[in-house]
Amino acid sequence: MCTRVVYIGPEQTVLTGRTMDFSIDIPANLWIFPKGMERNGQVGSNSLRWVSRYGSIVASSWDIAAPDGMNEKGLVANMLWLVQSEYPSFEKDSAEAGLTISAWAQYVLDNFATVAEAVEVLRKEEFAIVTDFIPGTEKFTTVHLSISDASGDSAILEYVKGKLVIHHDTSYQVMTNDPLFQDQLAIKGYWDTFPGTVFLPGSNRAPDRFVRASYYIKAIPQTSDQRLSVASVFSVIRNVSVPYGISTEGQPHISSTRWRVVADQKHLVYFFENVLTPNVVWVDLKQVDWSESSPVRKLKLDGGEVHAGHALHGFVESEPFLFKGL
């Protein structure tokens, strides 16, 4: 479920696009979080605690998680499903610090300005990622995390057999779901021998989406024009989207696309598109007051509300949602 691409163009042009694909409806709202927020890992007495260094805009899921967002420095975090994820064991009342998986991306957005900074800290594994079932479902949350920054650097973080594995390189521009990222790279290596203009795999399967996205993200125009670059990245993620109403029993990584995001990390503009409301909304992060004294604000979208264009004026002061934990 989901595809993520990073576009690296001329004159420091960098954009990250993603689809959110899910087998059930996954209502999203947009939230603006200022810097200076006190956070809690939501897993018991030894929850990780921190104060946000940077403000961010995020797309929520059910207002219990933040699977996508960009902070004021242009760092983007995207969570995608990965069935093969295996997290370390965690005891709620142990001495080990823990962080609910629903706030994994938010932790990164709150604390780091670049991928290199994030990787340096996260590779130390000073806390455990703690997962659980999505409320009201039988879906046990298994995701991996991609991060990209305004320089075009990327990292993919996966938990494999209880251990954190980090793939860190600017060349890692595309990520989908299963298989593990190292196997995705092997599949791409095979398909690189075929001319993309002659044949590309066309199914909704994650490996096929990976191949198509890898080809198209480099085939689209190389430009520093903001409108053209944004439109081009949207064209790629729409191409790898899954048609509405499509899902495959037993294969959660083949599910309908619910919403899409393109984050312009050079110009600091976050674009959001819900497939049920055919309008793109965006927020220019340069116009946001990120100071500690500014309020949390929300753009309500999960009830079919219609917005279009620059939507900062539509955000209203709100109590922050509580990240789902144990």
User: How is residue 103 written in tokens?
Assistant: 């706030």
Centroid of chain to Cα 217: 17
Q: Is 2 a catalytic residue?
A: yes
User: How is residue 14 written in tokens?
Assistant: 């960098």
* Active-site option among 2, 58, 156, 220: 2
In contact, 59 and 71? CB cutoff 8 Å: no
User: How is residue 190 written in tokens?
Assistant: 């095979």
The alpha helices in the chain, defined as continuous H runs, are 104-111, 115-122, 181-191, 206-219, 226-239
In contact, 239 and 216? CB cutoff 8 Å: yes
User: How is residue 196 written in tokens?
Assistant: 């993309």
- 3-state helix vs strand vs coil in the chain, percent to 5: 20, 35, 45
| Of 242, 227, 233, 193, nearest in space to 213 by CA | 233
Q: Could you please report the per-residue DSSP string of 68-97? A: EEEETTS-EEEEEE-TT--PPP--TTSSS-
User: How is residue 242 written in tokens?
Assistant: 């899954």
Task: State residue 282 phi and psi, 5-degree precision.
Answer: -150, 160
In contact, 250 and 83? CB cutoff 8 Å: no
Query: How far is the C-alpha of 218 from the C-alpha of 112, rounded, in Å?
Result: 28
Catalytic residue positions, numbered = 2
